[in-house]
Amino acid sequence: MSIFTHACVGANDIAVSKAFYDAALGALGIDNLGAMGDKAFLYGKGTPEFLVLTPANGEPACHANGGTLGFAAATRAQVRAFHEAGLAHGGTCEGAPGPRAFAPTAYAAYMRPHRQQDLRLLLR
């Protein structure tokens, strides 16, 4: 059982964000489920779980320093593909794919897309 129903991240340029998430999440088999109006895109595996949107209050999207979203990967190859696809679509590396000391079998990659929020991919 999930501890949340969905996660949202803000985007200042929805077209650039769509290209980034289509590539990075597509590498994990997570689908773009379509637009929600002209200010949001929905992602998931059959049902929307991750939303990329322009903030409803009209203010610029910004990141929470230290905030992280974690996506699960089935293999180390998926971790690398996620990271490579994200970097190819405007993300910046915050930690190359590789083993992590916080768990014995952890293998993770970190990136920051469009200076908005940190993403972490973790294979346990």
Residues 80-124: pLDDT tens digits?
999 999 999 888 898 999 998 878 888 999 988 765 444 555 554
Q: What is the dihedral of CA 97, 119, 114, 40, to 10 degrees?
A: 140
Domain coverage including residue 32: 7-56+66-123
Q: How far is C-alpha 28 from the geometric centre of its chain's CA atoms?
A: 10
Long-range contacts from 55-60, C-beta under 8 angstroms, 24+ separation: 55/10, 60/12
d(CA 111, CA 68): 10
Amino acid at 55: P
CATH of the domain at 104: 3.10.180.10
Whether 61 is in a domain gets the answer: no
**What is the reported pLDDT for 122?**
52
pLDDT, tens only, 9-21: 888 888 999 999 9
Rg (CA), the chain: 14
Residue 37 lies in a domain: yes
In a domain, 1, yes or no: no
Paired tokens of 77: 């190859």
In a domain, 2, yes or no: no
Domain tally for the chain? 1
